[in-house]
Amino acid sequence: MICENRKFKSLILVLIFTYGIHSTYAQNWANDFGYDDLVEELSSEPIIDYESMVFIPAQDNGWKYRKGTSEASSPSWQWRTLDFQENEEWIQGQTPIGYGDGDDNTVLTDMRGPSINLSPPYSSIYLRRKFIVKSGKIPSRLLLRTYIDDGAIIWINGHEVARLNVSKGTISHDSTAYSHEAKWESQIIGRSSLLLNEGENIIAVQALNSSILSSDFSFDIELKSAPFKVSLVEAADAEGRFLPEDSPNLKLEDGYNFQGTSSFEKQTFRVKTFSESVSYERSGHSESVGKRFFSDESITSWIPLVDVYAANQWSSQDFLLFGTLLPPLTEESMIQNHSWISYGYSDTSSAAEIDSAVLAENEIIRRFDYAIDRDQFIACVGLNNGDSSKVPSILASSYNAIVVGNTNGSHSRGGTPSVLGIGSGTVNHDGAGRLKPDVVANDNSTSNCTPQVSSAISLLYGISSNLGMPNACFPETMKAIIMAGAEKDKLNDWTRSSTKPIDQVYGAGKINVNNSYKILTKGDQSSLEKFQYYGWDFKSLESDDEVFYDLVFDQDISEVIFSLNWNRSIISSPWINGSKYNASIANMSLSFCRDDGENLILYDFSDSSIDNLEHLYLRGIPKGRYQLKVATDISTEFGLAWRAEKGNLPNLKIGTESQNIVINCQNLIKGKGFKLQKSNDLLNWSTYKNFTVTETSFVFNEPQEENLENKIFYRLEWDPVN
């Protein structure tokens, strides 16, 4: 059945940074966004897991390799599979494997030319290595470190996960790679939980030389789960300072790290920016942000590793590589925090200057979204302070990040920016008008609200790792879990519509880590099962496809929230593959119906044509059967999360007092409009009172009629859609 009836029943040349207030005023953040409630319910702090698991170490002796004098199997792909049986041509060896550099544990003396037995030279070798993943320990991301001279293609369980210095397309045993000097390089394999099995797995590699006449060849790799690390990206202050605390050494070299002290004594900081334009001293803003994100004053003081960038350099040479023809660098961190914003043009800019700035800003945001989607990290970014400011073009215009505002509403709003009307009219921002923020937090500035959200996500990430729920760590899923967990009941003017899925000031509401924990720990819910009151799902849909979820509520529901989230995918660009820019962003929809056994009665739907999220919020739902439908126009992956709170529905108690009928309305929903109706026959109803409440109870007094034999019936009616 499909719901059809609509019926209600009951870098730019200059980066301009805007900061929040720098003070760290006393506030119990843990109590403010639900963490203390969570600890009280659990009777202890939640168990987290931030250990990295090594599956294949460097210089490992468990490899089987075969010389590339012919194809490794027939059909040619079979050798990459787990059940392939190796014959006597496969030799056991220890990495590094190669020749010519004097550092190989297994030396291929005959690869370059005829050996003593006149065997032919070969340009590639095939390698296989089985590894074990323990039950409940499948990670959401893998860190693959490679040491290759010259190239390689790598498969895990038959799926290609890396192609390094090798041209696209099918290759054979005598193919070659581009010339490349060996050095240890890192690559994140995102969504690795969709690749790996509990128990035995196989990694297969075809390592290639640039020529059979090459002077050297070498291969080694290390495979492990991505380490629990976060990134703090901070705008340097007027003196160039950007670190949470002073570095012991103020003249740094690449790869420098130092142990934190005081509030940061559990953190090791790795400095990622090396530039003469910055100072390696403490920034008050960075310290304030860090204290809320990962210090002993936060809920995630256990975070062990923190990479710190200066924002200008992060966007250019340190990560995004804006302005080059190279893709962004690899992000090993799980979470990036950005408590800074940028506007690349002003009201006095000319049309040509605005066009130039927008083109640059679009590239930065596209690189940002591409990196999030490729490396599967979660990015939290702040809005500007001030309710009259515009949504920043960097980074709040991102599709794939989580954008944070303030519960007091003192932040930019009005949708992501557009320059139509002030520019030339030929260039505009991507997806102008999308609603921001996604969520809000309570603090003295957006700079300090943003790390609260980053800290909450870090906590949930660690919990999901401990519980063996890697799919919850995907950016789309975690964003849905955070937004479905957000509370709205204290935001009296919160509203949405079918085409504007979240509030234009408060987004999905105020973050509540206790609610999100309940959603997370109920686990990945298949659409083939009945909904629990809390849960989430990660799924793929094909073009013009839809999926249905059946819900059975055996108790009345005081409020129910559904959050659907998906990412923009950057398919091509000059800095990815030398092609013209092309992106894929689905247009999805979400609808919620009541199933009365014969018909589906549509309660509400969410169908924004520009946002990459849909959101539903209903209050006062009677127990019964319901159906949720998710639909898409193009192939996409999505995260879905929901939360249904049990509670009593609004009701009436009728009594008499003197000559009056006393109508006591109870369990009312604050901020919602009600109709008090009456009837003499239970068939024909008339509205006696329309009222909106700010409290949960309301009393009417009505004079009794003189003819006491006339029966009068009363009922309450309300629209559950918020």
Kindly write down the DSSP assignment for every residue of 641-696, as one continuous string.
EEEEEE-PPPEEEEEEETTEEEEEEESPPTT-EEEEEEESSSSS-EEEEEEE-SSS
Per-residue pLDDT, 7: 33
Residues 386 and 402 placed together within one structural domain of the fold: yes
Per-residue pLDDT, 661: 82
Residues 427 and 462 placed together within one structural domain of the fold: yes
Residues 304 and 408 placed together within one structural domain of the fold: yes
Backbone φ and ψ of 331, nearest 5°? -105, 110
Tell me, what amino acid is at 675?
K
**Distances in Å between the alpha carbon of 86 and those of 55, 81, 159, 206, 674?**
21, 11, 19, 15, 73
20 falls within a domain:
no
Paired tokens of 200: 């035995």
Per-residue pLDDT, 2: 38
CA angle at residue 210 from 206 to 212, to 5 degrees? 95
Residues 123 and 244 placed together within one structural domain of the fold: no
pLDDT, tens digit (0-9, with 9 covering 90-100), for 80-105: 999 999 999 999 999 999 999 899 99
Question: Which residues is 595 bridged to in the sheet?
Answer: 600, 625
Residues 277 and 401 placed together within one structural domain of the fold: yes
Q: Where are the beta strands (DSSP E) in 191-240?
A: 199-208, 217-225, 229-234
Residues 280 and 407 placed together within one structural domain of the fold: yes
Residues 220 and 257 placed together within one structural domain of the fold: no
257 Cβ partners below 8 Å, 6+ apart?
Answer: 268, 269, 270, 271
Q: How far apart are the first and last CA of the chain?
A: 25
Paired tokens of 720: 């559950």
Three-state DSSP state, 369: helix
Three-state DSSP state, 130: strand
564 falls within a domain:
no
580 falls within a domain:
no
Q: Is the dihedral of CA 288, 293, 299, 305 positive or negative?
A: negative
Cα 300 to chain centroid, rounded: 18
Per DSSP, the residues of 293-341 read: HTSTTSS-TT--EEEEEEHHHIIIIITT-TTSSSPPPP---SEEEE---
> Which of 523, 558, 577 is at the close of a domain?
523
Distance CA 532, CA 432 (A): 36
Distance CA 113, CA 376 (A): 43
- Largest Cα–Cα separation, the chain: 120
Determine how many CB atoms are found less than 10 A away from the CB of residue 420: 12
**Distances in Å between the alpha carbon of 636 and those of 27, 173, 528, 607?**
41, 35, 20, 16
**Distances in Å between the alpha carbon of 120 and those of 111, 115, 194, 209, 662?**
8, 8, 40, 15, 101
Q: Is the dihedral of CA 362, 363, 367, 368 positive or negative?
A: negative
Paired tokens of 610: 């520009």
25 Cβ partners below 8 Å, 6+ apart?
Answer: 444
- Name the domain count of the chain: 3
For 542-558, b/e burial (b = at least 16 CB within 10 A) is eeeeebbbebebeebbb
Residues 486 and 468 placed together within one structural domain of the fold: yes
641 falls within a domain:
no
**Distances in Å between the alpha carbon of 116 and those of 70, 92, 98, 113, 120?**
20, 21, 18, 10, 11
Cα 406 to chain centroid, rounded: 20
445 falls within a domain:
yes
585 falls within a domain:
no
Going by C-alpha positions, the residue among 341, 343, 340, 338 that lies closest to residue 358 is: 343
pLDDT over 70 percentage in the chain: 94
Residues 279 and 172 placed together within one structural domain of the fold: no
Distance CA 303, CA 562 (A): 30
Distance CA 547, CA 259 (A): 49
Q: Which helix (H) or strand (E) holds 187?
A: strand 184-190
Q: Is 431 left (phi over 0), alpha (psi -120 to 50) or beta?
A: left
Q: Which residue has the tokens 């309305």?
A: 665
352 falls within a domain:
yes
Per-residue pLDDT, 547: 94
Going by C-alpha positions, the residue among 295, 283, 299, 277 that lies closest to residue 234 is: 283
Residues 318 and 210 placed together within one structural domain of the fold: no
Three-state DSSP state, 699: strand
CATH of the domain at 141: 2.60.120.260
Helices (H), 347-445: 351-375
Residue 131: give the domain boundaries: 54-225
> Which of 225, 240, 267 is at the close of a domain?
225
Low-confidence ranges of the chain (pLDDT < 70): 1-29, 114-117, 526-531, 705-709
Residues 127 and 239 placed together within one structural domain of the fold: no
Which is it for strands 439-441 and 402-406: parallel, antiparallel or unpaired?
A: parallel
> CA torsion, points 279, 284, 290, 292, in degrees to nearest 10?
-170
DSSP state of 384: P
Residues 215 and 277 placed together within one structural domain of the fold: no
23 falls within a domain:
no
Backbone φ and ψ of 447, nearest 5°? -60, -35
Question: Which residues is 159 bridged to in the sheet?
Answer: 156
> Which of 192, 225, 258 is at the close of a domain?
225
Determine how many CB atoms are found less than 10 A away from the CB of residue 114: 10
Distance CA 441, CA 382 (A): 11
CATH of the domain at 320: 3.40.50.200
Q: Which residue has the tokens 């940002």?
A: 368
Per-residue pLDDT, 666: 85
Q: Where are the beta strands (DSSP E) in 573-622?
A: 582-584, 588-595, 600-606, 613-621
